[in-house]
Amino acid sequence: MKRFIQVAKLKPEMTGEYRRLHAAVWDDVVKTIKECNIKNYTISLDGNTAISYFEYVGDDYEKDMAKMEADPVTREWWKHTKPCFSGHDQSVYYADCDEIFHLD
Amino acid sequence: MKRFIQVAKLKPEMTGEYRRLHAAVWDDVVKTIKECNIKNYTISLDGNTAISYFEYVGDDYEKDMAKMEADPVTREWWKHTKPCFSGHDQSVYYADCDEIFHLD
């Protein structure tokens, strides 16, 4: 199992929209996330910064992320969520942080 | 079980020290954290921002946090870690973020 903490900057005016979207995530998006071997996935907001924590329990993270990217429903979902992000590089939304401590 | 994602700002010049301290956390500090009903505890760095994720599995969070604060070894440990934080309010180091999504 590999843990991830990631951060992404949201546009201030889109933070409410990002929150609303995540209060009612589509069932098929959740299904795909699980099928891509992600569990215990939490997103929190610190002002305009979105912070995610999740655990990857598969054995090929790149392959599973490619599978997620290829999923039509997930791509449709991202059409709603991606305009919320402020990053100028449209290929990167959440960036990995650097783990310095873990206690089971 | 209650999940927490918290953030804290570090002094830029103390980020390396914070990292070094957490590469060798004292055994008795870890023991106290566990005795205070915290599990699956991760700290990551995003530049000078420290982000923590943990799960509280007890039934009285305030009481367990007071227990942690009263522990002599933890208090000694904090003498090392607290100078790393940039907050001007010395009573608050990590602040809770606002959970907007969770998938088990």
Nearest CA in chain B to A100: B44
The predicted complex's ipTM stands at 0.94
- Give B42-45 contacts, CB < 8 A, sequence gap 24+: B42/A3, B42/A5, B42/A53, B42/A99, B42/A101, B42/A102, B42/A103, B43/A99, B43/A100, B43/A101, B43/A102, B44/A5, B44/A97, B44/A98, B44/A99, B44/A100, B45/A97, B45/A98, B45/A100, B45/B10, B45/B15, B45/B18, B45/B19
pLDDT of residue B93: 86
Q: Which residues in chain B have their CB less than 8 angstroms from residue A39's CB?
A: 103-104
Interface of B with A (CB under 8 A): 3, 5, 7, 18-19, 22-23, 25, 30, 33-34, 38-46, 49-51, 53, 95, 97-104
- Nearest chain B CA: its distance from A15 CA (Å): 11
Lowest-confidence region among A73-87, B49-63, B76-90: B76-90
- Nearest chain A CA: its distance from B58 CA (Å): 15
pLDDT of residue A93: 86
CATH architecture of A2-96: 2-Layer Sandwich (3.30)
Q: Which residues in chain A have their CB less than 8 angstroms from residue B30's CB?
A: 103
B100 and A45: CB-CB below 8 Å?
yes
- What residue spans define the domains of chain A? 2-96
Q: What does the pLDDT look like over A11-57, one tens digit per residue?
A: 999 999 999 999 999 999 999 999 999 999 999 999 999 999 999 99
